[in-house]
Structure 1
Amino acid sequence: MLLEFGVAFDLRRDVLSLLLDGGRLAEGNDVSEKISETLRIVKVEQNGKIIFTWKGPRGYTYIGLYDPQTKHNEVLYTFERDLHIISCSINRERTLLAVSYLRATKGDNVNEPLRPVSRCLTLLIEIHPVNNMKVLKAVDSCIRVQFLYPSETHHFPESHLLLISEDRYIEQFHIRVAAEEGCRVLIQNSGQLPKDRVAEDFIWAQWDMLGQRLFYIIVKDSKPLLKCVQFYPDQNFNELLEVPLDIVLTDTELRELRLVNFGFDTCQDQSLNVHVFASKEGGLCLCYSWASHDNEVIYSVAFLHRGYSKTFTVTVAEPESGLKRGVLFLDLDYYIAVYLPGQFLHLLNTRHPDLLCFHLFLTGEQAKVDVLPQKPCVQALLEGTLLDCCSGIMFTVSISQPSLLRLLQNSTEDSQRLAALHCLLLYFEDVTYSEAQVIQWISDRVSTCATFDPIQEFLVASLYRRIIPENSNLSKLLPHTSVPCWNVGIPGISCITDIIALPVFKEKNIEGFWESLYSGLEYVKYAESCFHFKTLQRDWCKLISDLNTEDKKSTLYHRNILENGKTVLSHLCVQNSEQRVVPVFQEEDYQQKELVGLIMVRLKDHLTRHLPYLKKDKIDKIALDYVSKLLNLIVLILETAWRKYNLGSWNFSLAGKGSGNEFSMFHVMTCILEATNGLCVPLPPGFQTLHTMLGIRCLPLHTLLHYIDNGVIQLTETCVTRLLKDLDNTGNNEKLKFSIVTRLPEAFCQKIYPAWDHPVSSSFIAREYVRHLLVKFTKRSLGRRCASDRTLSVYLDFLPMNYLVTMLLDMEERVRNPFEEDNVDVKFVEETALKQTTMLLGL
């Protein structure tokens, strides 16, 4: 299963055995059967404590509390009557208990859904110790109760209680308490509790336990409007936000009231299936499912923090007889799980929802969840928590890392591969294992993805994952993916994207979640400002073309690029001072240093433009970390693949033929080179030398030369020097050397020929020496020679030079004035002289 379930609480395991008097009551007798049948969960509070109720042997109704931290059960209160408990809540100090119940009438079945058939009483009870009782409401409609929970470091001078009525209003009661005689707690204002009207005329409401927020929907001008009220530890409450919803509600849905997270019934109507999920990073999503028709299920997710919604239509098989198609929405923070038992499981990415390839769509066996029942009695609670109301089991839910890896390895669809890859690299807190497994998969199947490059996605996503936790304000300024667009459809699913209205804030002084949400909305309002590597391509090509131009090198801009590149490479040398398996970081690659410096300069400009409040030192550090970690990620791929192919402490030897593992490593490095060229990101120093040496060992000569001619293999000074030194001048080796040397530029040859003890290199050295002396001689004699003096006045110890000078003097007599129109080309004269010198000397 893709989702991993853990049992956080089980009524039978954690409560029932203790209620049976430590085992003195056998589970088979009438008393134990009655307790087992009536035992159910009523409420889960913010701190995880669970309120449950059961009926005792004499018809008493008990309310208990289970503490998951201490694994301890306690009885909070006992009613000496048979009651239908609708809702319970206890304050953080565990001094006050609010209870709403229906008095049981003769003939009522306790297992039927609760119906407002008799008078509903809502009580406020002092339970520390058990003392006074106050009636808050006595009405015919059902009432839910919910204590507010302040932060753990702040204690209310008074407790605050929400009353949610099915008459479509919500009130807040303020209860001031006083401690007497050490531990005795009494309600001070028991006569008339002050109260506020929080909301009214709503058709749907949801309580957010963690954020202490109330979301509710009202109908205004015939259109639904979502509002949110925030409760604070140190003040009352404020209505912070409202947003119009682009959903159509039927008359039935308008008449019915739906309450979420205000208590648990064993069966709930699936009409008006709406949920709101707020993430810690400032994401706000509204999920809504329509009644299914025929073989289609339709649901919509409005990404309110991004300003658009996606409506999915899913084609499903015929469900089992009598099974309602109730879609379950579950908050997993980074993802929203959408589950239809026996049909599909979708994981919708809430942080990067724009492309479908970042969402996981599973059907059949892949979507099977054996833990959950097929009937709709499962409810989402806190983030990553589900409650099975029928069995009384509370589950913790998370994405299974091993299952996700299997999905990545076995999937044949690029959309699933990319979604799984993205999830593995960005979802889990400790991604060390995920990164190693993804690199293993890339090594095995690097060429199997047709619509995206897995190495590029690994580099960009992993780099995003490493930088963002340290600098959350960069989440919208740095790229999270290498995929610019995605137009490939998902079989069995259609998706429509609609632009929706952005939420409107009604308060200016906001913090925490609301500040993050507001920042994200400001980002949506204006043009996107994400840094993209590919925008550097044109500047990089221009910079390379200017490398040999002295006046360009002397510019301040170019010197700035070189200094930034030097800073990053120096930082890498310090970071990688320990012994590495892969022999990189052992030479200087001037072109790669230029690219490193260019990225640094452009990234710092980008951050300065969009984060003007950050100091220069902070921006410099962020840019340095970003580029350094990028290079280290490339090395991480090399290290992982190197160990995978058991190359060990491989030395720089070009003698002999490469093994199969070396060829596999060469293939991985070739794919890395292609990926980095496509992204326009630099390679670590020494990468191209290692790549070329593996190519020389593993490739046939014609393939090697083809790779060199097409730029796949970049010849480096270190590699060519080792080639000329390490290999003897036997037939095949000499052919290899000649093939390499003829492809080198002249400036390159001047550096590497002294390392080759061969007549060809000696000839080249002699020719270069002649050229150098000739240039010097020509400069000295220019303007001093006259037409009558054609004898050689300077004799040198180097005989080819004497012959060449004499020949040039003779040729000069046969040409006209060099400043006239048809003069002899100087380059032609030089080439002719050098060629004849070679022939006469037999070189």
Structure 2
Amino acid sequence: MVTVDNIASKLCSILLSEQPEVNAQEWRLLGQEQNGLLLLSWVQSDNLTTTHIGTYCYEQNTLDTVYTFQKPTTVIQASINANKTVLGYVIKEYEDPAVVTSYTYKPVIVNIEDIDKPIVYDLNIVKPKQIMIQFLYRKQSLLNENHSDKFLVLIHEECVLHYQIQADAFEVKTVDTLVRAFLWAQWDPLHQTLYYIHYKKTTRALVEDEEELKKNHENKSSPTLSGLQFHDDLPHETVLNIPLNLPHLSSISTSCDVYEDDTVPLRIHNCSLDLMVLTESEGFICVCHHYLYQPVQPATNLEENDSTPVHFAYSVTVLHQSCVIHCVIPGIPWNQAKTIRICTQLLDVGILHEPTCHITIPVDLLDFKIEQIMFVPVLKMGNAKVLNMTNLEIIDLTVTSQQLIQIFKSDTTIENKLSILHYFLVHHHDTDAINEILTCQINTLLFTGLPQLMREYLIGSSYSTVRRNLPSDASQLINLLPITTQPTGCDTEIKVNNNFISLSQDALWNASMMLLSPQQRLVPYRADIWTKLWDHLIKTVKLKQKFKPSQVVEKLLVSLVCYQPEALSRSSTPLSPGGSLGGGNAINEFSAMSQCTRKSQIDALPFYEIESCTASKQEHIISVNLRELSMHLLKQSTENRISRFQWQSQTPMHVHAVATRYVSAQLEQSRYLCHILCKGIGFDPKYDQEKGFAFIDHLSTEKKYVFFSVLERYYLAVESIAFPLPQGFTSFFTFLGYRTLRFNTFLQYVQRNVFELQVDVMKVIMMDTDDTKSGIERKLKLLTMLPRSRLKRLLSQWSHPISLMIRAREHSLNILSGVEGQNPRLHGLQKNRNYQLGLAAFPSEDRLSPLDTFLDLLTAKANLTEIDFGLLIEATVTSTDDFL
């Protein structure tokens, strides 16, 4: 947040340059027009004390005096026509200056075509109720045409009058009464729209008489926010009707004692109702509502300086997203709460995603004092968005990256951290900031919020990558991709300055019914803010079915049960043009160095990115993601295309392009997140020359534990949203767990399928474990958890009697069960010496030893060439030895 300019100081400089002897003070903002002109009044002291009204152009930095009062006059609001020939202003006259509640409002029209001889036209309206005046503007192309100026006079709780000034003569006449008995109103100069709140009567009950109806007036009518759209040469039309829930709103007959004269934006104030409508030309409309204060504990009367704590609450109706955001700030003293009229919170209400990622910023981090803040939206002030009414400072309402990083580090609320991370991922694309905030959380959120941050990174970064690289003709499908992990409608609690702020979100029911449809307009399908809003609402309804990672997670729960790395062959995916995603059979880890040197040292990982199985789990997850996403996109685009919401032609090729890019982004961002975490823990490819298992063995005990704790959370985050892991991670993570955890704990991880015992890991574990009794038991426990093909492969390399016996039993089992294999390779015993079947092993008098009987049984089941007699005999001989 940066102060761009101070208008008051610039205005004083302009006046001093023209009249050095003039002393200007008491600057007051009277309004702002559609073209960006600000109307201001000031008191000027020289020989006489006079009040002046002028127009200020920010772009040209010019101040033009348009009217002068020859005595001090309290002008509270003003408006000027597009040609700057007619001025309207409202005077607030106090009957007794000592009594602030005794005053009247008086609107006046002045012809200032000749500034030296202004013509004053009194509208003959003097009311104790608030009055505002506003000229209607036409398009720039129509300004030079001979037309009549039109303006509105808004009288609180009475009416809105429509006036017209004759073009040939300065004559003012009333056209009609637009609105009657309204509670609150606001003028939108940019879109020439009048918003107002009034009571809309419901259907009268037949059983009630007039007296009963009057008693239940408030129950039989509901407050409604309506929008009245004005046009250049067409009648006005009501384009919006929103029913409001205002249970504490006063009755229509109750008058306000004190008015707040809000001129930017121009509003008619209600003492029990504080609303502001914010609009943007792309069809974004937000209704900000500050509620009445309610004591935390029941209280009868609240005095002026009472410090009784009260609830301060507000809501933001994000109409284009069809939702309402609620906020409650408890425990504010009454004497402070009654002075709060603007509560500042940054809400991401763009159409790109649902507004679930709230960023709450403590005021003390923005270099502002609370009593000095009163922000109002302004038009055409460069990059500025708001004006601080207390000192006329134009503020660029931009929070810097460093401020957000500071908030991220100091805030303990995970929801706020997720929102800040989401902002950097989707909106700001600041890689350095993302790396910094993730790295700083490795220690502070080690056991709580780190997996959530990782999931948000993976989802948000994948979406952002696809959006930047998506073909323009497939842009409609981007709305079906997941964008954040934060759910819609959840309640969150954020701690700010020792106060807990409660945030919640509710969906609007059938929001499109509150709006005039394009075909119902005076000019059907007229392109303006309302047709764009209609399109947003239809998209919100039709595009709610975003793709959910849980769809893939559910599929993988079934398909991974059948996943057999050694049995499956590699398949072809869009990520593998050559027909595979990487290496073939199991490769020794050290032979892969030449492949890994091609990887950039900037984002290098502490392991070799290869897989030691025929078909990697990564490829399986990628293929399931691709299939499920493609089907989802195709289904949703087809349904929306045949509905009333017309899509661009989204062909299967568009679906294929989006799905392929998204799955590719999943793999890319999963790998890069692993790089960020490893680098944050301490891995530096510039200095750490060793990788893989050797890297783990050279880590200290504490460092191994940190690595494992972080990578475990990374693994869980990736698995929970069905993202692919980098190649080589599985073996590295398993071996890291083997070196870090106790064996029983390590075994539990294996049983829960967290660790995958691939060949390269098992080779190291088998060599690392001594052939003691406990060591053999450990080996056997791990071997029994392996698939049969991997088990046979490892047993053949384990030169131990137990291995011999297991292989012999496996061989016998296959023969007896009728599983006939290929001709076996000759066992060493068969190659080196001749032997007699059975007799050479266990001779006996009847020559019917148990081995003879068993071999006879085998020969009856299979051919002699299919039986590995050497293996069976050697295993039998070994079983008689005491090898443990």
Query: Paired residue for 2:624, among 581, 598, 614?
Result: 598
Cα distance in 1, alignment partners of residues 580 and 74 from structure 2: 73
Query: Paired residue for 1:79, among 64, 68, 79?
Result: 68
1:787 maps to: none
Cα distance in 2, alignment partners of residues 232 and 721 from structure 1: 80
Partner secondary structure for residue 374 of structure 1 = helix
Gaps of 5+ in 1: 26-30, 176-187, 337-348, 782-794, 819-823
Partner secondary structure for residue 603 of structure 1 = helix
Displacement after TM superposition at 1:813 (Å): 8.5
- Contact residue 386 and residue 394 of structure 1 kept, 8 A: yes
Partner secondary structure for residue 555 of structure 2 = helix
Question: Is 1:246 aligned with 2:245?
Answer: yes
2:289 maps to: 288
Equivalent residues in 2 for 1:601-680, closer than 5 Å: 601-612=627-638, 613-649=649-685, 650=688, 651-655=690-694, 656-659=697-700, 660-661=702-703, 663-680=705-722
1:374 maps to: 371
Displacement after TM superposition at 1:596 (Å): 0.8
Cα pair distance change 1:237/1:608, threshold 3 Å = farther
2:515 maps to: 505
Partner secondary structure for residue 371 of structure 2 = coil
Query: Paired residue for 1:68, among 48, 58, 63?
Result: 58
1:342-401 deviation digits (Å, cap 9, x = unpaired): xxxxxxx996467xxx55678xx7778763553896545469844343433333334454
Cα distance in 2, alignment partners of residues 711 and 309 from structure 1: 43
Moved more, 442-451 or 530-539: 442-451
- Contact residue 377 and residue 385 of structure 2 kept, 8 A: yes
Moved more, 136-145 or 213-222: 136-145
Cα distance in 1, alignment partners of residues 341 and 387 from structure 2: 15
Partner secondary structure for residue 20 of structure 1 = helix
2:484 maps to: 480
2:610 maps to: 587
Cα pair distance change 1:36/1:654, threshold 3 Å = same
1:638-660 deviation digits (Å, cap 9, x = unpaired): 22223323422243353443234
2:31 maps to: 43
- Contact residue 241 and residue 506 of structure 1 kept, 8 A: yes
Cα distance in 2, alignment partners of residues 771 and 246 from structure 1: 80
Cα distance in 2, alignment partners of residues 569 and 173 from structure 1: 76
- Contact residue 647 and residue 661 of structure 1 kept, 8 A: no
Partner secondary structure for residue 688 of structure 1 = helix
Amino acid of the structure 2 residue aligned with 1:8: V
Partner secondary structure for residue 12 of structure 1 = helix
Displacement after TM superposition at 1:627 (Å): 1.9
Partner secondary structure for residue 453 of structure 1 = helix
Amino acid of the structure 2 residue aligned with 1:324: K
Moved more, 537-546 or 473-482: 473-482
Displacement after TM superposition at 1:624 (Å): 2.0
Cα pair distance change 1:565/1:373, threshold 3 Å = closer
Cα pair distance change 1:752/1:131, threshold 3 Å = farther
Moved more, 505-514 or 454-463: 505-514
Query: Paired residue for 1:539, among 544, 547, 555?
Result: 555
Displacement after TM superposition at 1:590 (Å): 2.0
Partner secondary structure for residue 667 of structure 1 = helix
Amino acid of the structure 1 residue aligned with 2:517: E
Partner secondary structure for residue 622 of structure 1 = helix
Moved more, 638-647 or 521-530: 521-530
Cα distance in 1, alignment partners of residues 819 and 333 from structure 2: 95
Question: Is 1:168 aligned with 2:159?
Answer: yes
Displacement after TM superposition at 1:636 (Å): 2.4
Cα distance in 1, alignment partners of residues 33 and 833 from structure 2: 98
Aligned residue pair count: 763
Cα distance in 2, alignment partners of residues 88 and 19 from structure 1: 21
Cα pair distance change 1:569/1:734, threshold 3 Å = farther
Cα distance in 2, alignment partners of residues 717 and 450 from structure 1: 34
1:208 maps to: 188
Displacement after TM superposition at 1:663 (Å): 4.2
Partner secondary structure for residue 506 of structure 1 = coil
Cα distance in 2, alignment partners of residues 103 and 537 from structure 1: 67
Cα distance in 2, alignment partners of residues 661 and 778 from structure 1: 51
Cα pair distance change 1:360/1:646, threshold 3 Å = closer
Displacement after TM superposition at 1:44 (Å): 3.3
Cα pair distance change 1:20/1:312, threshold 3 Å = same
Query: Paired residue for 2:200, among 204, 220, 238?
Result: 220
- Contact residue 161 and residue 172 of structure 1 kept, 8 A: yes
Partner secondary structure for residue 621 of structure 2 = helix
Displacement after TM superposition at 1:593 (Å): 0.8
Cα pair distance change 1:147/1:799, threshold 3 Å = farther
Query: Paired residue for 1:334, among 338, 348, 369?
Result: 348
Question: Is 1:13 aligned with 2:9?
Answer: yes
Cα pair distance change 1:123/1:768, threshold 3 Å = farther
1:455 maps to: 454
Cα distance in 2, alignment partners of residues 762 and 157 from structure 1: 99
Partner secondary structure for residue 316 of structure 1 = strand
1:98-152 deviation digits (Å, cap 9, x = unpaired): 422357989997998995455x32235448xx7996767633254422453758x
Moved more, 60-69 or 729-738: 729-738
Cα pair distance change 1:605/1:766, threshold 3 Å = closer
Amino acid of the structure 1 residue aligned with 2:616: Y
Cα distance in 2, alignment partners of residues 78 and 486 from structure 1: 54
Partner secondary structure for residue 654 of structure 1 = helix
Cα pair distance change 1:102/1:195, threshold 3 Å = closer
Partner secondary structure for residue 518 of structure 1 = helix
- Contact residue 285 and residue 302 of structure 1 kept, 8 A: yes
Cα distance in 1, alignment partners of residues 554 and 195 from structure 2: 50
TM-score normalised to structure 2 length: 0.70
Partner secondary structure for residue 225 of structure 1 = strand
Displacement after TM superposition at 1:599 (Å): 1.0
Cα distance in 1, alignment partners of residues 14 and 99 from structure 2: 23
Cα pair distance change 1:293/1:814, threshold 3 Å = closer
Moved more, 47-56 or 221-230: 47-56
Partner secondary structure for residue 630 of structure 2 = helix
Cα distance in 2, alignment partners of residues 115 and 812 from structure 1: 116
Cα pair distance change 1:216/1:331, threshold 3 Å = farther
2:587 maps to: none
1:126-182 deviation digits (Å, cap 9, x = unpaired): 48xx7996767633254422453758xx7756587543332632537699xxxxxxx
Moved more, 269-278 or 768-777: 768-777
Displacement after TM superposition at 1:273 (Å): 0.7
- Contact residue 223 and residue 245 of structure 1 kept, 8 A: yes
Amino acid of the structure 2 residue aligned with 1:224: P
Amino acid of the structure 1 residue aligned with 2:198: I
Cα distance in 1, alignment partners of residues 20 and 222 from structure 2: 60
Moved more, 666-675 or 245-254: 245-254
Cα distance in 1, alignment partners of residues 161 and 720 from structure 2: 58
Cα pair distance change 1:197/1:86, threshold 3 Å = farther
Cα distance in 1, alignment partners of residues 463 and 415 from structure 2: 20
Gaps of 5+ in 2: 202-220, 296-309, 495-499, 519-524, 584-594, 639-648, 842-849
Partner secondary structure for residue 17 of structure 1 = helix
Cα distance in 2, alignment partners of residues 586 and 680 from structure 1: 19
Partner secondary structure for residue 608 of structure 1 = helix
Question: Is 1:836 aligned with 2:873?
Answer: yes
Question: Is 1:55 aligned with 2:43?
Answer: yes
Cα pair distance change 1:45/1:688, threshold 3 Å = farther
Question: Is 1:123 aligned with 2:110?
Answer: yes
Amino acid of the structure 1 residue aligned with 2:437: V
1:473-503 deviation digits (Å, cap 9, x = unpaired): 6446535215588567775759796865634
- Contact residue 324 and residue 375 of structure 1 kept, 8 A: no
Cα pair distance change 1:237/1:301, threshold 3 Å = same
Cα distance in 1, alignment partners of residues 38 and 99 from structure 2: 20
- Contact residue 414 and residue 451 of structure 1 kept, 8 A: no
2:393 maps to: 393
Amino acid of the structure 2 residue aligned with 1:627: V
Amino acid of the structure 2 residue aligned with 1:582: L
